Amino acid sequence: MNKPLIVALDFPSSNEALSLVSQLEIYHPFVKVGMELYYKEGPAIIEELKMKNCNIFLDLKLHDIPNTVKQAMKQLARLEVDLVNVHAAGGKVMMEAALEGLEAGSRVGRKRPKCIAVTQLTSTTENMLTEELLIHSSMETTIKLYAALAKESGLDGVVCSALEVPSIKEVCGNNFLAITPGIRNSEDNNHDQHRIVSPVQANRLGSDVIVVGRSITGAKDPHSAYLRMKSEWEGLL
Ligand SMILES: O=C(O)c1cc(=O)[nH]c(=O)n1[C@@H]1O[C@H](COP(=O)(O)O)[C@@H](O)[C@H]1O
């Protein structure tokens, strides 16, 4: 993967998603289909996006007992997307089961999709971690341990805030992917995100991939917003 910017297609239906993609079509965008769009449109939206030459991150954040995750991943593998994810909080056996399902569902001769684990959502604060989730380690320690567990389970990387990338790379090595949402420029609305980083900072902190939603999809001119984010992320601005 070559430092991609993934656009989160958080839309209620394929009309809005495909209209956004058509504005970016010449760049063959890497896009993310999340729960909102997939629960409405199902596998059809994946096929439509493939026809538009998009790379696809199917973000369904699986978190269940190992057997359920394995069987679900077997089905998702058949969609032949590039990237899928689980919650690291499901534990090692569940993450291993996710990979087994992906291997089992992938066509012979075709590589399974990459699989990454969400560590702690970028909407989670240090205070929520201790007060609500009753995790009495710091955000950094928790995320480092979850990342190490994901690596031990054979996963390809994690989702985290760019703020945690240096410590994850220290523990898991440079080849272990760090995919980072929660990307905002100072003038953007933060919405429900808390552990926020600009595209320039994400680059400096060593993120491999950034995920950007509303700062592009909600912009007056999504095409210009995409190009600016991309240039800042790639260190051109
Ligand atoms: O797994 C994800 O993609 C994800 C993990 C996380 O910790 N935080 C997070 O924001 N995301 C996703 O990244 C996207 C961020 O969207 P914006 O906040 O609109 O840029 C959303 O689609 C989220 O579902």
Task: Please provide residue 118's backbone torsions phi and psi, each rounded to the nearest 5 degrees.
Answer: -75, 130
Distance CA 107, CA 86 (A): 21
Contact 36, 10 (CB under 8 A): yes
CA dihedral 159, 160, 161, 166 (to 10 degrees): -110
Q: What is the CATH number of domain 5-233?
A: 3.20.20.70
Mean of the per-residue pLDDT values of the chain = 97
Reported as a single tens digit per residue, the pLDDT across 107-143 is: 999 999 999 999 999 999 999 999 999 999 999 999 9
Residues carrying an active site annotation: 59, 61, 64
Q: Which of 5, 63, 192, 211 to mutate to test the pocket of ligand 1 (most atoms within 8 A of CB)?
A: 211
The annotation status of 66 as a binding-site residue, yes or no, is: yes
Cα(235) to centroid(ligand 1), Å: 22
- Confidence grade of residue 236 (pLDDT, cut at 50, 70, 90): confident
Write out residues with Cβ below 6 Å of ligand 1. 8, 10, 34, 59, 61, 85, 118, 121-122, 159, 181-182, 191, 193, 211-215
Structure tokens of 177? Answer: 């992917």
ipTM more than 0.90? yes
Task: Name the pTM for this structure.
Answer: 0.97
- Residue 2: its pLDDT value, please? 67
CA dihedral 66, 134, 61, 103 (to 10 degrees): -30
